[in-house]
């Protein structure tokens, strides 16, 4: 837009004139929801250090703490041979979707095999734990929650 | 529970007595949310016949019309070499997660490559379409919606 502007220039003279105005480049921009791409190969692994969890590591791909999203959480869990995610509960329902390897997902005491192409539905507050097979295991997991960090994980057993 | 009951028996005599009552085996049971496993290999493909959609086929793994779930929808889209899912919009945000092959996902005019391990976030109401690469493409997709059938797909172009 064009506006009549009066300002002091560098030599303190008063300048008056018609100028085209545009927002300065450093103006804060309104947040907008944008499409984006995340390659798991570029995402750092988390976990693997707390024996309460087990040996599992994970990569968070879509989650409100790190992406401008609020609808769902998507991540990948990765296990070495015989790797573990110890039994735990959380309030939201979750899905697993097997990518590579194999494992046993035990939900409320019932064992289910996960292999590539297998989806598992875990109801909210169901106790579930995973033990990977001899070739390890990778699965995608997801929640209809805004952010992974808002989901409270409660493990069934404490490790001394 | 025990109750005093009066009824007509097979010979039409009136019988009165105290009986233990339990629900008949054919009583409708209250729905309960149960864990379950779905192997994509066992799920029938849908689609592939309507030129408005393109040549894509899909398998619905978790969705309120067919599974006792309400939190999210999970499916797999499958494309042959050069296969298509024509540009369309829907109100809910969606994720794609590349499983095999490759393709180009164009979102609001911007092309993104999808390969295994790549997650793509598609904002609600963003126009998006997919063209598979020379080896075809498979990706998982999901919505934080109760049922796939409740999501209105609006295609950008009509095919004569």
Cα–Cα separations (whole angstroms), residue B31 to A61, A111, B34, B69, B150 = 33, 22, 9, 11, 21
Q: How many CB pairs under 8 A join A and B?
A: 126
> Does the residue A130 lie in any domain?
yes
The answer for B 43-72 residues in CB contact with A (under 8 A) is 61-62, 67, 69, 71-72
Between A33 and B57, the higher pLDDT residue: B57
Instruction: Please give the pLDDT value at position B32.
Output: 74
Q: How confident is the model at residue B54 (pLDDT cuts 50, 70, 90)?
A: very high
For A108, the 3-state DSSP assignment is coil
Give strand pairing partners of B98.
B139
Count the domains in chain B: 1
Chain A positions in Cβ-Cβ contact with residue B93 (cut-off 8 Å): 33, 69, 71-72
Shortest Cα–Cα distance, A120 to chain B (Å): 4
CA atoms of A130 and A70, how far apart (whole Å): 27
Give strand pairing partners of B132.
B103
What is the average per-residue pLDDT within B13-38? Answer: 69
- CB of B91 less than 8 A from some CB of A: no
> Does the residue A9 lie in any domain?
no
Say if the Cβ atoms of A40 and B121 lie within 8 Å.
no
Closest CA in chain A for residue B61: A119
B80, B48 in Cβ contact below 8 A?
Answer: no
- CB of A26 less than 8 A from some CB of B: no
Q: DSSP per residue over B36-49, as a string?
A: EEEEGGGSPPEESS
> Does the residue B19 lie in any domain?
no
Could you tell me the pTM of the whole model? 0.81
> Does the residue B12 lie in any domain?
no
The pair of three-digit structure tokens given for residue B82, joined into one six-digit string: 């050069």
Q: Which domain holds residue A138?
A: 38-155
Q: Among A37, A99, A126, whose Cβ lies nearest the Cβ of B120? A: A37
Instruction: Please give the pLDDT value at position A30.
Output: 45
> Does the residue B20 lie in any domain?
no
What is the average per-residue pLDDT within B49-65? Answer: 96
Say if the Cβ atoms of A118 and B33 lie within 8 Å.
no
Shortest Cα–Cα distance, B9 to chain A (Å): 44
Percent of chain B with pLDDT over 90: 77
ipTM: 0.80
Instruction: Please give the pLDDT value at position A157.
Output: 83
Domain with residue B64: its CATH number is: 2.60.120.10
The pair of three-digit structure tokens given for residue B38, joined into one six-digit string: 């779905």
Could you tell me whether strands A36-39 and B118-122 are parallel, antiparallel, or unpaired per DSSP bridges?
A: antiparallel
Shortest Cα–Cα distance, A122 to chain B (Å): 5
> Does the residue A23 lie in any domain?
no
Percent of chain A with pLDDT over 90: 77
- Per-residue pLDDT reduced to its tens digit, A16-66: 777 666 555 554 444 578 999 999 999 999 999 999 999 999 999 999 999
Instruction: Please give the pLDDT value at position B160.
Output: 45
A151, A73 in Cβ contact below 8 A?
Answer: yes
What is the average per-residue pLDDT within A96-112? Answer: 98
The angle at the Cα of B62, spanning B61 to B64, to the nearest 5 degrees, equals 135
Interface mutation vs chain B, best among A115, A117, A123, most B CBs within 10 Å: A117
> Does the residue B128 lie in any domain?
yes
> Does the residue B89 lie in any domain?
yes
Cα–Cα separations (whole angstroms), residue B156 to A118, B5, B109, B110 = 33, 66, 12, 16
């Amino acid at each position: 837009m064009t506006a009549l502007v009066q300002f002091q220039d560098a030599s303190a003279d008063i300048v008056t004139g018609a100028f085209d105005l545009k927002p300065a480049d450093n103006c804060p921009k309104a947040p907008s929801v944008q499409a984006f791409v995340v390659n798991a190969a570029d995402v750092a692994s988390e976990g693997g250090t707390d024996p309460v969890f087990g040996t599992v590591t994970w990569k968070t791909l879509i989650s409100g703490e790190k992406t401008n999203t609020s609808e769902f959480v998507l991540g990948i869990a990765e296990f070495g041979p015989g790797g573990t995610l110890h039994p735990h509960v959380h309030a939201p329902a979750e899905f697993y979707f097997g990518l590579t390897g194999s494992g046993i997902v035990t939900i409320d005491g019932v064992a289910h095999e996960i292999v590539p192409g297998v989806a598992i539905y875990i109801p909210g507050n169901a106790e579930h734990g995973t033990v990977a097979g001899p070739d390890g295991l990778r699965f995608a997991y997801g929640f209809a929650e805004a952010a992974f960090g808002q989901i409270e994980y409660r493990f069934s057993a404490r490790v001394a």
